Amino acid sequence: MLIPELLEIYRSCTLCPRACLVDRTKGELGFCGLPADIVIDCALSHHGEEPPLSGTRGAGTIFLSSCNLGCTYCQNYQISHTAQGQRLSVLDLAKVMLDLQKSGCHNVEPVTPTPQTPLIMESLCMARAQGLTVPFVYNCGGYENPDVIRMLDGMVDIYLPDFKYGLEKDALEFSDAPDYPRYATDSIREMVRQVGDDLETDNGVASRGIIIRHLVLPGRLDNTREALRRIRDISPNIPVSLMSQYTPMPKVRNHPQLGRRLSQREYRQMTDFALALGIENLFVQEVSSFHLAPDFDDKDPFGGNRPV
């Protein structure tokens, strides 16, 4: 049982590559600002994920507070740029997972579990002991410590990492994480070792495997090209969700490139590039000139989405 070993990491935190080495059990805070507690914003049935994850009854999404990346353009910035939220016990979170299953969700999917992994895994074990059978989806930003990912072997059914940056300079500029490409590559290699380089489905619903997400940033196509090359080098078979939904958030509204949406032409260039690399398991999106962003001040963040 690896839970005690995982919990020990809170004492000198290396849960992510920032390696803040703070003792979170004593109230010391690192980059993510999170204590050694579970802090969430909300949990809901989410129909906006990739079709095998949302299925017909929704993904069981648990939106956790804060993040270890802090991307300037994050569309979930209302919850990812703050460590405020509801503090839950391990038992409470296990109940949240069981309630999502009871309501029909096809899986349970904590979003950005990285800084809260040890306690989430303890909840998962508890929930499974109490009858949780739906797949557990690890939906993370890709800025992972490969040694921690190695400790999750056997516990995660589906990995859903981002591969945000192929270029160190973009990772530095937008997330202050110049070592992102290296850590994402090593972590995803480990994920693939555990669950394979494909997505297994049952009646169209994901049961095991991996999908890598990449959000195409406007005017930063070299970053996308390099990210896709790196993914291809891990395995061209990995399903890739190439996202076109970039929406400028307040912090970047005046940025010369990130202050606008992605054009159809840019997106088409990137899908063509992925296919030319041999990445054929592609999830693609429409490019719309009108986007909505979730509003986490609303009771249903995806119900009454605010235009931005």
| Residue numbers at the binding site for ligand SF4 (CB under 6 A) | 13-16, 18-20, 22, 30-32, 34, 68, 115
Residue closest to ligand SF4 (Cβ): 30
Q: Between 14 and 269, name the residue whose CB sits nearer to ligand SF4.
A: 14
**To the nearest 10°, the Cα dihedral for 38, 63, 50, 238?**
-40
Q: How far is the CB of 29 from ligand SF4 (least distance, A)?
A: 7
Q: Between 34 and 62, name the residue whose CB sits nearer to ligand SF4.
A: 34
Q: Between 115 and 135, name the residue whose CB sits nearer to ligand SF4.
A: 115
Bridge partner residues of 136 (DSSP): 108
Q: Between 19 and 282, name the residue whose CB sits nearer to ligand SF4.
A: 19
Enumerate residues 6+ apart whose C-beta is below 8 A from 6. Answer: 117, 118, 121, 122, 148, 151
Q: How far is the CB of 71 from ligand SF4 (least distance, A)?
A: 14
Name the E strands within 112-180: 137-140, 158-161
Q: Between 15 and 127, name the residue whose CB sits nearer to ligand SF4.
A: 15
Burial (0-12, 13-18, 19+ Cβ within 10 Å), 306 = exposed
Q: Between 143 and 246, name the residue whose CB sits nearer to ligand SF4.
A: 143
Q: How far is the CB of 198 from ligand SF4 (least distance, A)?
A: 30
Q: How far is the CB of 123 from ligand SF4 (least distance, A)?
A: 17
Q: How far is the CB of 34 from ligand SF4 (least distance, A)?
A: 6
Bridge partner residues of 210 (DSSP): 159
Q: Tokens in use for 111?
A: 């979003």
Enumerate residues 6+ apart whose C-beta is below 8 A from 225. Answer: 166, 270, 273
Q: Between 134 and 171, name the residue whose CB sits nearer to ligand SF4.
A: 171
Q: Residue 245 — left, alpha, or beta (φ > 0 → left; ψ -120 to 50 → alpha)?
A: alpha
Q: In what order do the strands lie in the sheet with 205-210?
A: 86-88, 38-46, 59-64, 108-111, 137-140, 158-161, 205-210, 199-202
Q: How far is the CB of 132 from ligand SF4 (least distance, A)?
A: 25
Q: How far is the CB of 269 from ligand SF4 (least distance, A)?
A: 34
Burial (0-12, 13-18, 19+ Cβ within 10 Å), 88 = buried
